[in-house]
Amino acid sequence: MADKKTAVDIKKVDTNEFDIPETYFIRDVENRVFQGIVLQCLSEIEGIGLVEGNFIDSIFSRGQEGIAGIHVDQDSKNHMVTVKIEINVQYGFSIPEKAEEIQTRVANEITKITGLHVSCVHVVFKNVLPIDQIKMLRSPLTSSSNVKSNNEDDYNDEF
């Protein structure tokens, strides 16, 4: 009997019997990221500037949520973004041309950086600024502490 080998029936396990849950990969992008992208795009466009928050917004700390004049809504279910930008334009620039330039740049940059589809870029022109205010429109990213005022040139300690 020692010569006789016992055959063992080995059953293969069917992997289709197991219910393995799907793996979900989630990517969250904060609104400040989108606002930063929009700001960078706007800083490269001549003749426009962001609408600044008003006194009421600063009292109620509405400006703490993000940058005044840039509003972003995300639809995470469909992986889409809607952007609304409120800006001022310098007198003499074509509003339709500026709107198209802003919309194209913003949509392309957001898609390139985040991989999300931009469903809408809504540009609202709030005000037309006179030509003498062009210095303030050059870069919406510059803060007032970094900008040298015209008064510093007029008044100094030298006689």
Measure the CA–CA gap between 59 and 57, rounded to whole angstroms.
6
Quote the pLDDT of residue 50.
84
**Highest mean pLDDT: which range of 62-76, 80-94, 130-144:** 80-94
CATH of the domain at 83: 3.30.70
**Is position 13 within any domain?**
no
Q: Beta strand 80-90 with 70-75: parallel, antiparallel or unpaired?
A: antiparallel
Query: Domain range spanning residue 67?
Result: 28-139
Token readout for 96 is 């339709």
Number of domains in the chain: 1
* Residue 26 vs residues 29, 77, 79: alpha-carbon distances, Å: 10, 11, 11
pTM over the 0.85 mark: no
Instruction: Compute the average pLDDT of residues 88-97.
Output: 93
